[in-house]
Chain A
Amino acid sequence: MRSLATKKNYKSEKIRGIRIFTSSFSILFQLIIVAISILPIVWIFFSSFKTNGEILNSSLSLPKHWNFYGYINAFKISPLHKFYANSIIIAVTSTILNVFFVGMASYVIARFNFKFKKVILITLSLSLFLPMTSLIHPVYMTINKIGLYDTKAGLILVYTALGLPTTLFLLNSYFLSIPKDIEEAAYIDGAGFFRTFIQIIVPVARPGFATAAVLQFLLSWNEFLYAIVLTNSKENRTIPVALSYFTSQFSFNYTSLFAAIVMVSLPSIILFALMQEQVVSSLTAGSVKG
């Protein structure tokens, strides 16, 4: 009996030792994660209010005076307002089209049985795993051929397609989770197919649509590769491309560059901060079921 008790004591002390080690490790680990994630952005943010001289001589200090010259200059040396307007038009339009069209397809796939349903679903799913970087040339040729090179419409079309797999999976699993009698009642009342979709299904599936829309908006707002491949004029370029324009032409003007980075990143950060609970819960629900 006694030996058993001492053994237990020894064991509990060992466990306590491990606990102290793991809890200090976990605190340190979290500190490092937070530091590497937000220090670079916070540093860029503060530096965007400094002068060029301050940035070069005392890069870690806070700005002496909070001035907005960097921001004002950024708009002067590049047509930033134009890029902003383009990004908003392209991101909003591609989000509406993507969520609406892919929503229609996901609804039909989730709810009805028809010929080739499995083949269609599997074929569409393949797009999720396709490295889109491999398609630069043919997509460029296609857009060129249909006369959409260097137009907002061309980028809208490609972005609508880029988000196809994510929206399909998200909405498909969302529709599967909605009870079927909701729309059956509508059909019995004599409502048409399209009206049932718009007036019954879309409102019920609003959280799913909202998440898909946020992700699609972020994708279009952030996209860079196809933006440089499919456009060549200031008239149609988007805000991520503006950054490369800044680094090549005004690389001596750090304040304006930093201001431009802040203006590119801030909308994404704000949108995510506002919608994150929604996005996180739907994302994971989708991944668990799908």
Chain B
Amino acid sequence: MNRKGFWIALFLMPTILIFLLIYAVPVFTVVFTSFFDYRGFSGRMTFIGLINYIQLFTSDSSFKKALGNTLIWILLQSTVHVAIGTILALILAKKRFGWKFVRTSYMIPNIISASALGVIFLNVFNPTYGIVNSIIKIFGNKNINTNWFFDYNTAFFTVTITWLIYAGLITILVLAEIMSIPESVFEAAKIDGASDFKINIYIILPMLRNILATCVILAATSMLKEFELIFLTTKGGPADLTLNLPLYLYKTALIENNFGYANTIGTVLIIMGVITIALVTKLFKFGESDV
């Protein structure tokens, strides 16, 4: 190996070691141990083939609920969430008065700790002193005492709100892409007499295909990672109504210490991630050039 080769290897070494330790070996462990009966801290493992998977998909009602919720949230997040962020980006791209203030405000819920956000929402939706019920009391229903997070009828909706409407990251990404479109494109359209609305729909949106694909991937896969906002509010309740796969995995691994089974859920999560990315890439013809 020559001198340059030595330095290249040395520069890559720390990152590759960290990658192996925290990503590669764990992924291998997750998939490998999903075929074993592996509980508790004795370290004893018995090979059981696909039994964990069979149990997961045939007789585990909590898993069914968690999988269903996760899928619904992926669908909502990759449509409604991305749409909200994109609409705001289209509005802010006009750079009217205060656009930077709106952009910064919208980023705040995205940059503070998700754990802080969870506790904030727990209080915002508190039945007695929460800001939501207090405002409803002013504008009409004086006797409202809905316990948003813990009522069987409102829990799912309330948990969903805590991430669905906060699309600051999407706005920033889409906005920057719009601003990189050459000014001449808009001028040509305006000379042809197109309205702002038409310019948005027929000219800008098609040019945003690649960044929208990125946004949909980010939004969808974020739902495979969502943990804090459920853990600190409903903890998955009432009766598994707001349970998702990460939270179910957490409970199985750290409360029941059923590691083999937890890692089966982990394998399902990883596969869902791969499918999501493949699907979005295909749907948006991601990465292909526009010409």
Contacts and interface: CB of A to CB of B under 8 A. Distances in A.
A135 B30 contact: yes
Contacts of B11: 104-105, 107-108, 197
B128 interface: yes
B241 interface: no
A59 B30 contact: no
B87 A158 contact: no
A134 B88 contact: no
Question: Interface range on chain A: under 10, 10 to 19, 20 to 34, or 35 or more?
Answer: 35 or more
Interface residues of B, number: 95
Contact of A30 (B25, B91, B108): B91
B16 interface: yes
B269 A133 contact: yes
B29 interface: yes
Contacts, number: 269
A203 interface: no
Contacts of B121: 40
B113 A221 contact: yes
A112 B8 contact: yes
A138 B253 CA distance: 10
Contacts of B277: 129
Contacts of A136: 249-250, 253-254, 262, 266
A150 B232 CA distance: 22
Interface string A276-288: 1000110110011
Given A56-B129, A101-B14, A261-B119, A222 B88 contact: no
Given A269-B108, A288-B180, A101 B87 contact: no
A105 B15 CA distance: 7
A197 B25 CA distance: 30
Nearest to A105: B15
Contacts of A88: none
B177 interface: yes
A168 to B, nearest CB: 8
Nearest to A280: B172
A39 B131 contact: yes
B4 A193 contact: yes
Given A161-B19, A222-B114, A224-B115, A33 B196 contact: no
Contacts of B265: 134
Nearest to B32: A138
Interface stretch (A78-86, A204-212, A238-246): A238-246
A60 B135 contact: yes
Interface string A171-204: 0000000000000000000000110010000000
Of all A-B residue pairs in the complex, the 8 with the closest CB atoms, nearest first, are A284-B176, A138-B26, A161-B22, A134-B266, A133-B246, A222-B113, A105-B15, A138-B29
Given A40-B121, A41-B112, A135-B266, 16 more contacts: A30-B98, A56-B129, A109-B12, A123-B24, A129-B217, A131-B224, A131-B272, A135-B22, A138-B27, A138-B263, A140-B253, A161-B18, A240-B114, A243-B113, A261-B119, A269-B111
